[in-house]
Amino acid sequence: MSVLRPFKATDMFKFNNINLDIWTETYGIGFYLSYLSRWPDLCCVQEAPSGRMMGYGTLPFPTHTLSSQLNTPIPVLGKAEGPGTEWHGHVTAITVAPEYRRLSLARKMMSLLEMVSEEIYKGFFVDLYVRCANSIAIDMYEKMGYSVYRRIREYYGTLGVGKGGKDEEDAFDMRKPLARDVNRRSIRPNGRDIIMSAHDAT
């Protein structure tokens, strides 16, 4: 049986089996340390009985709120942000080691983030960025109710022009409306056609 436990700075020496994957964005050490210093009690890892890391992440919300309402650690790297009707939960990173995929760990993490974003923080939607070339993840998110809101040019850098005349390092900003978004303003039918620069995306 796997265990969810707090993420420690020393775990950065043990998460290569998760991060050394073509689709997983690996951040600089300062990024992880900033999350650990800002939300230390919300950074968690999913650990196998052998001690091998299966996945990691956080939700940047006050622990006392979550502890009383959920009584469980939260395994997805995210944050709450945005003014007014743009207030939403954002998935910064969600990753599961290749050998632990297809166990619905990512779906469970996403469901938990959506529930917290909706019920505790009253967000209008949940969003995430995913590489346009990552068709497996895009398909999974679409099955979970997410749709493309816009395409962000060169969000992950640039590899040059790829299939369809667009850069393969572009990102889709995918969104899923929550109950508070009664008019469904956080989604649009033609999101794949809306293109903006990474500089203008917030």
Residue boundaries of the structural domains of the chain: 1-123, 127-202
Please state, in angstroms and as integers, the Cα–Cα distance from residue 5 to each residue in 64, 81, 171, 172, 199, following that order: 16, 25, 31, 31, 36
Per residue in 44-102, pLDDT (tens digit) is 777 888 888 877 665 444 333 443 444 333 345 666 678 889 999 888 778 788 888 88
Edge-to-edge strands, sheet with 43-47 = 3-6, 43-47, 53-58, 95-96
Task: Among 4.10.80.400, 3.30.70.270, 3.40.630.30, 3.20.20.70, name the CATH number for the domain at 1-123.
Answer: 3.40.630.30
Output DSSP code: residue 92. E
pTM: 0.76
Residue range 149-160: mean pLDDT, rounded: 82
Q: Which three-class secondary structure state does DSSP give residue 23? A: coil
Rounded to whole angstroms, the Cα distance separating 173 from 146 reads 10
Quote the pLDDT of residue 74: 35
